[in-house]
Amino acid sequence: MSIPEIIGSIQSTYTRVVCMVCQEKGIDYRLTEIPLRAPELLAIHPLGRMPVLRHGDVELFESKAIATYLDRVFPEPYVFPSDPREAALTEQWVSLANTVLDRTFIRTYLMAYIAPGTADGKPNRSAIEAVLPEVRMQVGILDRAVAPTGYLAGGQFTFADINLMPMLHRLGQAPEGGAVLAESKHLSAYYKRHAARPSFVRTDPPAGPPRRA
């Protein structure tokens, strides 16, 4: 079987997610580092976003679709549960993370640091202060979610956790986000525990701002 090629940047949270899936499953893969909207991305993703996958004659875009494909093509351990309830919980938290948390943590809060949009190039403090209540509220939701078992979906490490961990990593890199995460008893313990997983350690991006998917 050919080796899956992941095309994107490890600085992108969603590229890292797909690489973590490969690491968790022991898949031999190749990461091709490429800038956003590069021709190689546009050849597969209609908007030039990352990551995309090439595997033999299979081409896919969107991290969830790629992860689902890899989980079904390659043998266990599986990151998507077979139990109906835990499968649904996984989908639930992936959907919330991708539609709500990513927008708040990465594309609003962190972007106020990375692309401040101010004349002096300093962080956009008004944007940061405006979004912080949402950051705190959403971190609180996660804190309560992981409190019972230390996982988002049932009692095992699933794609829901893989999908969230790079977002928490980026959130913790900014001062207020790091403080909110540290103050959240259960979520901070969750993050510390899962940050020690080999899949997370081996995909740690070099210093620098995240790239948009």
Q: What is the pLDDT of residues 62-101, one digit of tens each?
A: 999 999 999 999 999 999 999 999 999 999 999 999 999 9
Q: What is the mean pLDDT of each run of 10 residues along the chain (213 residues)?
A: 93 97 98 92 95 97 98 97 96 98 96 75 90 98 98 96 98 96 98 98 83 57
Residue 194: predicted pLDDT: 98
Residue 211: predicted pLDDT: 58
Count other Cβ atoms within 10 Å, centred on residue 124: 16
Residue corresponding to tokens 């997610």: 17
Residue 37: predicted pLDDT: 83
Does residue 174 sit in the same domain as residue 193?
Answer: yes
- Whether 212 maps to a domain, the answer reads no
Does residue 40 sit in the same domain as residue 141?
Answer: no
Does residue 55 sit in the same domain as residue 96?
Answer: no
C-alpha distances out from residue 137 to 17, 103, 209, Å: 24, 14, 24
| DSSP 8-state symbol, 46 | T
Query: Residue 145: which domain range?
Result: 84-197
Tokens of 122: 């300093």
- What is the rounded distance in angstroms from the CA atom of residue 185 to the CA atom of residue 147? 9
Residue 122: predicted pLDDT: 86
- What is the rounded distance in angstroms from the CA atom of residue 14 to the CA atom of residue 105? 14
- What is the rounded distance in angstroms from the CA atom of residue 158 to the CA atom of residue 79? 5
Does residue 88 sit in the same domain as residue 190?
Answer: yes
- Whether 211 maps to a domain, the answer reads no
Residue 209: predicted pLDDT: 60
Does residue 109 sit in the same domain as residue 175?
Answer: yes
Count other Cβ atoms within 10 Å, centred on residue 1: 9
Residue 1: predicted pLDDT: 67
Helices (H), the chain: 13-25, 39-42, 63-73, 84-96, 111-114, 125-146, 159-171, 175-183, 185-194, 198-201
Query: b vs e for 74-88, b when ≥16 Cβ sit within 10 Å of the residue's Cβ?
Result: beeeebbbeeeebbe
| DSSP 8-state symbol, 206 | P
- What is the rounded distance in angstroms from the CA atom of residue 213 to the CA atom of residue 42? 13
Shortest CA distance to 98 belongs to which of 187, 13, 22?
A: 13
Residue 184: predicted pLDDT: 98
Give the chain's domain count: 2
Shortest CA distance to 69 belongs to which of 11, 23, 4?
A: 4
Residue 146: predicted pLDDT: 98
- Residue 35: partners with Cβ closer than 8 Å, 6 or more residues away: 9, 211
Which residue, 45, 73, 101, sits at the end of a domain?
A: 73
